[in-house]
Structure 1
Amino acid sequence: MTLRAVELLCIPDGETHYLLDLGCGSGLSGEILDEDGHVWVGLDIAPAMLNIAVEKDVEGDLFLQDIGDGLGFRPGTFDGAISISVLQWLCNADKSYHNPWARLQRFFTTLFMCLRRGARAVFQFYPENDAQVEKIMAAATKCGFMGGLVVDYPNSNKAKKCYLCLFAGQAPNGGNQTLPKALGEDGASDNEPSTVAYESSRIQRQQRGSKKGPRKSVKSKDWILHKKDMARKKGDKVPLDSKYTGRKRRPRF
Structure 2
Amino acid sequence: MPRPEVQAPPEIFYNESEARKYTTSSRIIEIQARISERALELLALPDDGVPKMLLDIDVALERETEGDLLLADMGEGLGLRPGVMDGAISISAVQWLCNADKSSHEPRLRLKAFFGSLYRCLARGARAVLQFYADNVKQTEMLVSFAMKAGFAGGVVIDWPHSSKAKKSYLVLTCGTSSIASLPKGKGEDGEMCSSDDDDDGDESNDDQTVGTYGRNRSNKRQKVNKKNGRGKDWLLRKKEQMRKRGRDVPADTKYTGRKRKTRF
TM-score computed with the length of structure 2 as normaliser: 0.58
Deviation at 1:188, TM superposition (A): 5.1
Aligned mate of 2:111, from 104, 128, 131: 104
SS of aligned partner of 1:111 = helix
Q: Which residue of 1 aligns with 2:219?
A: none
Residues 209-246 of structure 1: per-residue CA shift (max 9 Å, x gap): xxxxxxxxxxxxxxxxxxxxxxxxxxxxxxxxxxxxxx
CA distance in 2: counterparts of 1:78 and 1:137, whole angstroms? 21
Provide the residue aligned with 2:38 in structure 1: 4
SS of the residue corresponding to residue 75 of structure 1 reads coil
- Check conservation: 1:155, 1:190, Cα contact below 8 A: no
Using the TM superposition, give the Cα deviation of residue 159 of structure 1 relative to its aligned residue in structure 2, in angstroms.
1.3
* Structure 2 CA distance for aligned equivalents of residues 187 and 7 of structure 1: 20
Amino acid at match of 1:178: S
- Is the partner of 1:63 in helix, strand or coil? coil
% identical equivalent positions: 53
Q: Output the CA distance in 2 between the equivalents of 1:190 and 1:79.
A: 31
1:182 matched residue in structure 2: 186
* CA distance, structure 1, for counterparts of residue 79 and residue 164 of structure 2: 38
| Aligned with 2:56 (options 12, 21, 25) | 21
Q: How high is the TM-score relative to the length of structure 1?
A: 0.61
Cα pair 2:131 2:171 within 8 Å, conserved: yes
Paired residue total: 164
1:145 aligns with 2:152: yes
The aligned runs of 1:58-207 (5 Å cut-off) are 58-170=65-177, 177-187=181-191, 192=196, 194=198
Task: Answer whether contact 2:152 2:177 (CA < 8 A) is retained.
Answer: no
Distance in structure 2 (CA, Å) of the matches to 1:66 and 1:101: 15
Q: Aligned AA for 2:56?
A: D
**Which runs of 5 or more residues in structure 2 are unaligned?**
1-34, 200-265
- Note if contact 1:19-1:81 (Cα within 8 Å) is conserved in structure 2: yes
Counterpart code for 2:184: P
Letter in 1 for 2:148: T
Q: SS where residue 70 of structure 2 aligns?
A: strand
RMSD: 2.1
1:170, distance to aligned residue in structure 2 (A): 2.3
Does the CA-based 8 Å contact 1:145-1:166 persist in structure 2?
yes
- The list of structure 1 runs, each at least 4 consecutive aligned residues, that deviate by more than 4 angstroms after superposition, is 188-193
Amino acid at match of 1:9: L
Greater share of strand: 1
| SS of equivalent to 1:158 | coil
Q: 1:62 to 1:134 in 2, by over 3 A?
A: same
1:112 and 1:67 mapped to 2: Cα distance?
13
Secondary structure of 1:3's match? helix
Letter in structure 2 aligned against 1:180: P
Correspondences of 1:211-230 after superposition (within 5 Å): none
What secondary structure, in the 3-state scheme, does the structure 2 residue paired with 1:64 have?
coil
Deviation at 1:11, TM superposition (A): 1.1
In 1, are the aligned partners of 2:188 and 2:194 still within 8 Å (CA)? no
Deviation at 1:187?
3.0
> 1:194 offset after TM fit, Å?
2.6
Q: Which has the larger radius of gyration?
A: 2
Deviation at 1:192, TM superposition (A): 4.4
- Residues 224-239 of structure 1 mapped to structure 2, 5 A cutoff: none
Separation in 2, partners of 1:96, 1:141: 27
Q: Could you say what secondary structure the match of 1:61 adopts?
A: coil
